Amino acid sequence: MTTTDPTFSAEQLAEVRRLQALYPDARGALLPVLYMAQDTFGWISLETEEYVAGLFDLSPAHVHEVVTFYTLYFRERPGRHVVSVCHNLSCHLAGAGSIIAHLKQRLRVEVGETTEDGRVTLLSVECLCACEAAPMMQVDDRYEMNLTPVKIDRILEGLA
């Protein structure tokens, strides 16, 4: 399914209604429904924002504000792997800046970009909640802690 015509399946629409019913105001389900849309369509396009807005009787502008506020939503198709480096205080003090610089050099991208081959998207995020293991990053669904350039190189080499 393309994001130019995003449409949930009947089962997904039932899940949207179930989530909306959990909250006194159905808008409380907007974040998980946007995440479901991203999981379904790969990213949150303007067409997807408009579609989700219709499910909540909201303006597309309101949904766009939510999507652009939170870093967990992709506004462009991400790479096959997403590498998110924490830059919050603990990680920063433990060397996150040099970790990000190493990744930028190694991947030949800036933060927020995807490698030319579509393999990796590099992000810098506010907090990954493991200050005791700083500096750290998330690679897809797993966390990598106590990072060094050597450890990062091994992680990147293991990505398909």
pLDDT (average), residues 6-11:
96
Q: What is the DSSP string of the chain?
A: --TTS----HHHHHHHHHHHHTSSSGGGGHHHHHHHHHHHHSS--HHHHHHHHHHHT--HHHHHHHHHH-TTS-SS---SEEEEEE-SHHHHHTTHHHHHHHHHHHHT--TT-B-TTS-EEEEEES--S-GGG-S-EEETTEEE-S--HHHHHHHHHT--
What pLDDT is stored for residue 3 in this prediction?
Answer: 47
The per-residue pLDDT for range 37-56, each reduced to its tens digit, is 999 999 999 999 999 999 99
Instruction: Name the amino acid, one letter, at 147.
Output: L
Residue 117 DSSP code = T
Q: Which domains can be identified in the chain, with CATH numbers? A: 10-69 (1.10.10), 81-157 (3.40.30.10)
Contact 6, 51 (CB under 8 A): yes
pLDDT tens-digit map of 123-160: 999 888 989 999 999 999 999 999 999 999 999 999 97
Q: Give me the mean pLDDT over the 24-42 stretch.
A: 96
Specify the pLDDT at position 4.
66
pLDDT digits over 66-80, tens only? 999 987 899 999 999
Name the pLDDT band for 117 (thresholds 50, 70, 90).
Answer: very high
Say if residue 1's pLDDT is above 60: no
Question: If you average pLDDT over every residue of the chain, what do you get?
Answer: 94
For residue 29, pLDDT over 70 is answered with: yes
